[in-house]
Copies of this chain bind each other. A is one copy, B any other.
Amino acid sequence: MVNSKHELIVNHIKKAINAGKYEVDTKIPSENQLAAKYGVSRQTVRKAILELEQEGYLYAKHGSGTFVARRRTKSGNSKNIAVVSTYMSDYIFPRVIQGINQVLSDNGYSILLKTTNNSRKGEAWCMEELLSKNIDGMIIEPSQSAISCQHQVLYDQMDAMGIPYVFIQGCYEAMLDRPHVMLDDVWGGKMITKHLIDLGHQEIAGIFKADDTQGILRHKGYVMALQEAGISYNPDLVIWYHTKDKGVKPMEGLLRIYEAGTACQAVVCYNDEIAAEVIKGLNSIGKRVPEDISVTGFDNSLLAHSKGITTIAHPQEELGKRAAQTLIGLINGSILKKDAHVLLAPELVERKSTM
Contact = CB atoms under 8 A, between A and B. Distances in A.
A111 B110 contact: no
Interface in A107-135: 110-115, 129, 133
A98 B106 CA distance: 25
Interface in A47-81: 79-80
Contact of A129 (B93, B95, B110, B113): B110
A95 B94 CA distance: 10
Nearest to A115: B101
A113 B111 contact: yes
Contacts of A95: 89
Give the dominant DSSP class at A's interface. Answer: mixed
A74 to B, nearest CB: 13
Nearest to A97: B88
Interface in A136-195: none
27 contacts: A1-B106, A79-B133, A80-B112, A80-B133, A83-B113, A88-B94, A88-B97, A88-B98, A88-B101, A89-B94, A89-B95, A89-B98, A93-B94, A97-B113, A101-B113, A101-B115, A105-B114, A105-B115, A110-B112, A110-B113, A110-B114, A110-B129, A111-B112, A111-B113, A111-B114, A112-B113, A113-B113
